[in-house]
Structure 1
């Protein structure tokens, strides 16, 4: 702000076109890598770096341009997101090491379920794993090698069996309080984790119920064959790791900070993993035999999120430059003038802009970082939408189309795991186009569109606005 109270704008040569240079370089690089199936948080680093460098040469005040980039990196929202990621990454590693995969397989196999019922169990198991670890990609990689062949030999339809794993990953990614998309959507909108999880629950569960119905109706039809090899991969003690997930969820819903909740969850997961014999204390932390070797699961968990953290910092820097140059404000004014006139249109715009951002980019949390602070938040605030409502619309939107397109990281990882497991057991894998039928993602898209159009589950920042507007939009 200047001394007379007016907003000081970062000026660039070329006006709007000069200001668009960082955005074009960033998005262009992300799309290029994604289409070439080389996307990922670490490959994306170069795109963010080049976007900042390119924009510098269009800035009239280079010193202020650099300060704007640093203000973005030091944004308090980004600090919360990064800290949460650090503890969520360790939590996921502890859950896997504690035997969660073997425990979920045991739960599924011991029911005696076959055909369509087992496909439903696979969806639920994948959802629980994603809820417990906060990673959709990790869910597909960890569960596909055991659940796909198990379901194949228990009479499941191969295509729906495979998509049940992908759907469960999307469900968990959508709802988990430790998911990167949940963390980003909540804290870019200034929402508490308790409000976000509570208000998102009905949306996710309705979509989940629709997906369950589809799996039950069409998930069978295969031939049942014995597969004793999978018995060795079952371990009932691993199911106790779900207690750590309950600790995190209960703590977050009670109003405690997500960092505090994750610390309680980490401790619980470590204790249960040691008690059930699936991990030793030395696996969590120990002095390595030589320099360069990991000190244990804590280091591994942090290492696993470093790529996302650095890319998030670069995204925040580019976004701050776009905001201070006035580009995002111009986009908003255009949208408000010609597109957004009611709360219904505002919500549909939030859904649309998030989906559009997620289509070319092969990772969904960066898509939220790109549009959350700069577009979604000001659109929602103008119509007094509650922070949790804005976060839920954005998070649900980024878990729809994103989970069906083959150039996205999670779909590519899912299909690679399916193919590898099929080859290991000498069975046939469905084509990658099976992802296009992902029941949960399509159901979730229908649910959030219904919610935005009818006003169901809509919450305002204050009660007076809610009483004035009702559900009319």
Structure 2
């Protein structure tokens, strides 16, 4: 039995670290200064002030260290390290121009090109695991290209944002996929397999919307973008196939990411898009990057440190009994069936994601301490808990303007529009993001009907059958 952490002020004293953290995150997010690095200070202040409410200061520090040393957190951090490098390798290998080539050589115009842009963004975000990176990388080329090929400006821009949301929701290397899976104790194989029907159903609905409403503009030539076409970049999708295939075969996500990293590096070098020296080399002077590997690791440092701090704060909340009280209240007042449990998971996840400008931290806040205990009480399979939580966080999050990805997407749209002297839609167009609304609809239907729901016994049986087939 874990020792309870006693705090002065009881429940109020226990809530102090959480309140300080959330207020800081909301403040930075509303001021459009949010991000994993700016969030560091909020978590640091929360931990520091919380110490003075602890009756046993030594036990408080031990509690924080137990959170930091949690094996779930270690897996998440390690996976992020390799996922960060993988994303950089995919971009360096020419994936952007490869997808541009796919889109521009089809001869599609208007609504059809908007649909192709959505598909390209889906593939890019699946391959890199970053929704923000997808918007930043693809918008400068695909938005003006679609504009001059007769696409509706608002729907064209939303096609990129929707595709980015799809990859964030499904990619095995996405931070939300990694966090949702490992905070629920789920294997990546089960998560990706069972989440695919939900994500692809929402994508199909969104694709229909883009095909119906994505056209209406005027077609004209754009030779500047035609000059950037490079089909060899599309070969980088092979590396994505390697990662997904390995993960679905039951191999550990770290192992799968290493195979993907090696494949991406080899394909990039063989295709001529990446130089070996770009991967790693001795820099000319101290402080300069050693190459893509260092850049990839550096790209996730902010998220890793914030995750460590969040895990420390969450552990203190758990050991102080605050989370147990919240769960007890929920179970007595609104959660008495498995359907209500899943609806509660959706609600608490969306609620946590609304004020915070990054979605992985929202999952870290509610995943281990609220979602997992409630799901376990109703015997929901780990993958089902992870899927309900991850799908929920990828809905409203992708329509609110103070969130990092929406802000980055709109900045890229405005920049591309200014570069080619074309119009940009208002940022409020994000509120109509087809994929996220479709995903919310699919998720609610799944909960109400029981479609795609699995329980622990069912998942254990499937895992046992897979093990028998593997050894046979």
Structure-1-length-normalised TM-score: 0.97
2: CA distance between counterparts of 1:166 and 1:108?
17
Q: Deviations over 1:255-276 (max 9, x none)?
A: 0000000000000000010011
Matched residue of 1:412: which SS? helix
The within-5 A match list for 1:14-413 is 14-413=9-408
Equivalenced residue count is: 461
CA contact (8 A) 1:22 1:51 kept: yes
Alignment of 1:437 onto 2:429: no
Q: Residue 465 of structure 2 corresponds to which residue in structure 1?
A: none
CA contact (8 A) 2:397 2:403 kept: yes
Ranges in structure 1 where 5+ consecutive residues have no aligned partner? 2-6, 467-473
Q: Deviations over 1:73-130 (max 9, x none)?
A: 0000000000000000000000000000000000000000000000000000001000
Matched residue of 1:220: which SS? coil
1: CA distance between counterparts of 2:228 and 2:28?
37
Matched residue of 1:255: which SS? coil
2: CA distance between counterparts of 1:162 and 1:330?
44
Alignment of 1:452 onto 2:452: no
Kindly state the Cα deviation for residue 463 of structure 1 after the two structures are TM-superposed.
3.9
Kindly state the Cα deviation for residue 339 of structure 1 after the two structures are TM-superposed.
0.6
CA contact (8 A) 2:6 2:56 kept: yes
Kindly state the Cα deviation for residue 333 of structure 1 after the two structures are TM-superposed.
0.2
1: CA distance between counterparts of 2:446 and 2:262?
38
Kindly state the Cα deviation for residue 465 of structure 1 after the two structures are TM-superposed.
12
Kindly state the Cα deviation for residue 178 of structure 1 after the two structures are TM-superposed.
0.3
Query: Once superposed, what is the RMSD of the aligned Cα atoms?
Result: 1.0
2: CA distance between counterparts of 1:265 and 1:213?
32
Q: Deviations over 1:356-410 (max 9, x none)?
A: 0000000000000000000000000000000000000010001000000000000
Q: Residue 470 of structure 2 corresponds to which residue in structure 1?
A: none
Q: Deviations over 1:169-223 (max 9, x none)?
A: 0001101000000000000000000000000000001000000000000000000
CA contact (8 A) 2:356 2:362 kept: yes
Ranges in structure 2 where 5+ consecutive residues have no aligned partner? 462-472
2: CA distance between counterparts of 1:172 and 1:150?
22
Q: Residue 467 of structure 2 corresponds to which residue in structure 1?
A: none
CA contact (8 A) 1:384 1:465 kept: no
Q: Residue 471 of structure 1 corresponds to which residue in structure 2?
A: none
Matched residue of 1:43: which SS? helix
CA 1:288–1:456 in 2, change beyond 3 Å: closer, same or farther?
same
CA contact (8 A) 1:98 1:238 kept: yes
1: CA distance between counterparts of 2:13 and 2:325?
13
CA contact (8 A) 2:179 2:363 kept: yes
1: CA distance between counterparts of 2:19 and 2:349?
17
Matched residue of 2:452: which SS? coil
Kindly state the Cα deviation for residue 71 of structure 1 after the two structures are TM-superposed.
0.4
2: CA distance between counterparts of 1:202 and 1:272?
30
Structure-2-length-normalised TM-score: 0.97
Kindly state the Cα deviation for residue 464 of structure 1 after the two structures are TM-superposed.
11
Matched residue of 2:227: which SS? helix
CA contact (8 A) 1:20 1:327 kept: yes
Matched residue of 1:111: which SS? coil
2: CA distance between counterparts of 1:231 and 1:157?
20
